[in-house]
Amino acid sequence: MTPTDTLREAVARAIKPLRWLGDTAVSSVGFYRIETFKSGFVWSVDGIRGNHLRPSKSSDDARLLAQADFAAKMLAAFDLDAAITAIEAAGWRIVPAEPTQEMVRASLRLDLSYMPDHQGADRSAVYAAMLSAAPRLDATVRSGEEG
């Protein structure tokens, strides 16, 4: 899974489920409703049917489809670049849980011989070098690259 996919999945999991009162759920997208239609159940949002060509066998299945529509619309409105910019403006970085080979190489390129008392272990410098070599998630999002 790419960093972009991981972030999108995390955002999708953070979307609250629709709260149904009977056959209606109110959302920021509109009013979702479950209706009986022909031989099954369909969902609609603000009167526009979503699955009328293939009615669901149960109202629960229709609710799942309505939730998927709601999540897709919320994700489409979410600006990943703006979220990453806000995170980094607060002094945070999104980096891999395990260092990449480039991050490790960056830490090894440091000349820490000036610190003989610490056996060359300036941990702040190593951390800074590794962070500077970490892949930038926002570049991946903007370019649409995967990996």
Question: What mean pLDDT do residues 2-24 have?
Answer: 84
**Do residues 67 and 84 both lie within one domain?**
no
**Do residues 58 and 20 both lie within one domain?**
yes
Q: Which of 77, 110, 130 is the last residue of a domain?
A: 77
The string of pLDDT tens digits covering residues 77-129 is 888 778 888 888 888 877 777 888 888 888 788 776 666 665 555 667 777 88
**Do residues 98 and 34 both lie within one domain?**
no
Measure the N-to-C terminal CA separation of the chain; round to a whole number of Å. Answer: 8
Kindly state the helix (H) or strand (E) to which residue 41 belongs, with its residue range. Answer: strand 40-45
| Main-chain phi, psi angles of 99, to 5 degrees | -65, 145
**Do residues 100 and 116 both lie within one domain?**
yes
β-partners of residue 45 are 32, 48
Number of independent structural domains in the chain: 2
For a pLDDT cut of 70, what percent of the chain falls above it?
81
In the DSSP assignment, the letter for residue 88 is: H
Whether the Cβ atoms of residue 66 and residue 57 lie closer than 8 Å to each other: no
Q: Which of 39, 61, 77 is the last residue of a domain?
A: 77
| Main-chain phi, psi angles of 110, to 5 degrees | -70, 140
| For residue 35, pLDDT beyond 60 | yes
**Do residues 73 and 8 both lie within one domain?**
yes
Q: d(Cα 145, Cα 134) in Å, to the nearest integer?
A: 16
| For residue 50, pLDDT beyond 90 | no
Q: d(Cα 124, Cα 139) in Å, to the nearest integer?
A: 25
